[in-house]
Amino acid sequence: MIRNFPLITNGVALGLALACGMLPSSAYAANDKARISGLADVAFGPVSTATDTPISQDVCAYSSSATNGYSVTATGSGGGGAFTLSSGAAQLPYDVLWADSAGQPNGTALSAGTTTSGFISTAGQQGCSNPTASATLTVVIRAASLGTALAGSYTGSLQITIAPQ
Amino acid sequence: MNKKSLKISAQRLMLGAALAGALAGSPALAATQGTLGATSTGTVTITASVPNRARITGLTDVTFASQDPNTAASSAQNVCVWSNTATKAYTITASGSGTANAFTLSNGSSTAAYSVEWAATSGQTSGTALTAATASASLTSGAVNQTCSSAPTASATLLVKMATVDLGTMSAGSNYTGTLTLLVTPQ
């Protein structure tokens, strides 16, 4: 889920920055850190041409910022970072969803190469010992895409980058 | 392989569809985890396989009404056959509702034979004769999607014909009905 905190945190950051005689560039301290872990490969196997096919996984997204806020940027291995799998010259697009809690079947749709802000982590530690996961990554192959896809074995990679906010 | 049945009759012909399956393997898994930093990046490998699939749509029933037995009957219809293989190849298998899948219509007490032809392009008035329950030679579809919703709007022609010799055996004023099942198999 995206929560509308940036205005508040920006205000806090602005006050702190002015007090220190600095221009604010973001809402988080320079030494804030983030970590994404718990990622697993996504193997759809044979996919139906009749229905959307999602696969979700719980992951750990940790942010040390005061608000535990973070942004997510996803980049696929298709041309221009597109979310596409390839089988030779054939392409198969997919969607990427992100939710800032575990066990979510849906989430915010990410645009390839575009940073989406406003997520909050509940992870207490960078490795998510408790809770054991703080976010859900969902990859969806749409039936509409499968309707015209050529038969074959498709593969691709997805890079997820998070940054504290 | 998958099929749908098409129904045919002197009154009508119903449609069918088909698909078939295949599969593929998946590469080695290699997710990477992020490290703690100003930004953190992880990667996942995504794999999927799309099985061979075919589909036939756009079929309509066939009716030969008040057919003059001295004039051969012929009905041609444009249909959409789609195959998702790299070559877009498929075979077509037609099965009638007569004994041993014969192409026959029945009025309950007697039968009349018909023939089925298939052309791999639309708008044809003749095609390759199909043998009941026997797959055709490999054909190629020009369809770019499952239902030919974009050009070409049809990719094949189904022809149902009745010869005068068969029409001549039919009883006047009697309705003859049968079903034709078409199975499309991607190649």
- Contact assignment for A141 to B48 by CB distance below 8 Å: yes
- Residues B127 and B14: their CA atoms lie apart, in Å, by 20
Q: What is the pLDDT of residues B124-146, one digit of tens each?
A: 999 999 999 999 999 999 999 89
- Contact assignment for B32 to A45 by CB distance below 8 Å: no
Asked if residues A39 and B43 have their Cβ atoms less than 8 Å apart, the reply is yes
Q: How many CB pairs under 8 A join A and B?
A: 159
Residue A148 has a pLDDT of 86
* pLDDT band for position B1 (cuts 50, 70, 90): very low
Q: Which helix (H) or strand (E) holds A7?
A: helix A6-19
A13 in B contact zone (CB under 8 Å):
no
Residue A27 has a pLDDT of 53
Kindly state the average pLDDT of the residues B43-72: 96
CA distances from B185 to A138, B17, B20, B61 (A): 33, 10, 6, 22
Give domain status of residue A120, yes or no: yes
Per-residue pLDDT for A142 more than 60? yes
Give domain status of residue A4, yes or no: no
CA distances from A74 to A11, A105, A158, B57 (A): 28, 18, 7, 39
| 3-class DSSP assignment, residue B165 | helix
Best A155, A162, A165 member to test B by mutation, with max B CBs in 10 Å, is A155
Q: How many residues does chain A have?
A: 165
Per-residue pLDDT for A9 more than 50? no
Residue A20 has a pLDDT of 33
- Contact assignment for B36 to A62 by CB distance below 8 Å: yes
Q: What is the pLDDT of residues A28-61, one digit of tens each?
A: 667 999 999 999 999 999 997 778 999 999 999 9
Q: Residue B133 corresponds to which amino acid?
A: A
* pLDDT band for position A147 (cuts 50, 70, 90): confident
Residue A130 has a pLDDT of 86
Give the residues across from A61 on adjacent strands: A36
Give domain status of residue A133, yes or no: yes
Asked if residues A74 and B34 have their Cβ atoms less than 8 Å apart, the reply is no
Give domain status of residue A101, yes or no: yes
- Contact assignment for A34 to B23 by CB distance below 8 Å: no
- Contact assignment for A153 to B24 by CB distance below 8 Å: yes
Distance from CA of A39 to the nearest CA of B (A): 6
Give domain status of residue A132, yes or no: yes
Distance from CA of A15 to the nearest CA of B (A): 22
Per-residue pLDDT for B20 more than 70? no
Give domain status of residue A62, yes or no: yes
A133 in B contact zone (CB under 8 Å):
no
Phi and psi of A9, rounded to 5°? Answer: -65, -35
Per-residue pLDDT for A11 more than 60? no
* pLDDT band for position A6 (cuts 50, 70, 90): very low
Residue with tokens 């992870």: A123
Q: Which residues of B74-86 are buried (b: 16+ CB within 10 A; e: fewer)?
A: ebbbbbbbbbbbe
Q: Are strands A69-76 and A152-164 parallel, antiparallel or unpaired?
A: antiparallel
Range of the domain at A100: 33-146+157-164
Residue A146 has a pLDDT of 87
Residue B5 has a pLDDT of 44
Residue with tokens 């192409």: B103
Asked if residues A123 and A38 have their Cβ atoms less than 8 Å apart, the reply is no
pTM of the model: 0.76
Q: Are strands A53-63 and A115-120 parallel, antiparallel or unpaired?
A: unpaired
Q: Which of B36, B47, B50 lies at the smallest CB-CB distance from A151?
A: B50
How many structural domains compose chain A? 1
Which ipTM did the prediction report?
Answer: 0.83
Q: Residue B171 corresponds to which amino acid?
A: S
Best A36, A77, A86, A159 member to test B by mutation, with max B CBs in 10 Å, is A36
Q: What is the pLDDT of residues A72-109, one digit of tens each?
A: 999 999 999 999 999 999 999 999 999 999 999 899 99
Q: What is the DSSP secondary-structure string of A57-73? A: EEEEEEE-STT-EEEEE
* pLDDT band for position B29 (cuts 50, 70, 90): low
A153 in B contact zone (CB under 8 Å):
yes
Q: What is the pLDDT of residues B70-129, one digit of tens each?
A: 999 999 999 999 999 999 999 999 999 999 999 999 999 999 999 999 999 999 999 999
Asked if residues A104 and A110 have their Cβ atoms less than 8 Å apart, the reply is no
- Residues B10 and B174: their CA atoms lie apart, in Å, by 10
Q: Residue B149 corresponds to which amino acid?
A: S
Kindly state the average pLDDT of the residues A118-122: 97
How many whole angstroms from its chain centre is CA A64?
17
- Residues A117 and A114: their CA atoms lie apart, in Å, by 10
Per-residue pLDDT for A118 more than 70? yes
Distance from CA of A2 to the nearest CA of B (A): 19
Per CB-CB distance under 8 Å, the chain B contacts of A92 are 48, 50
Kindly state the average pLDDT of the residues B5-25: 35
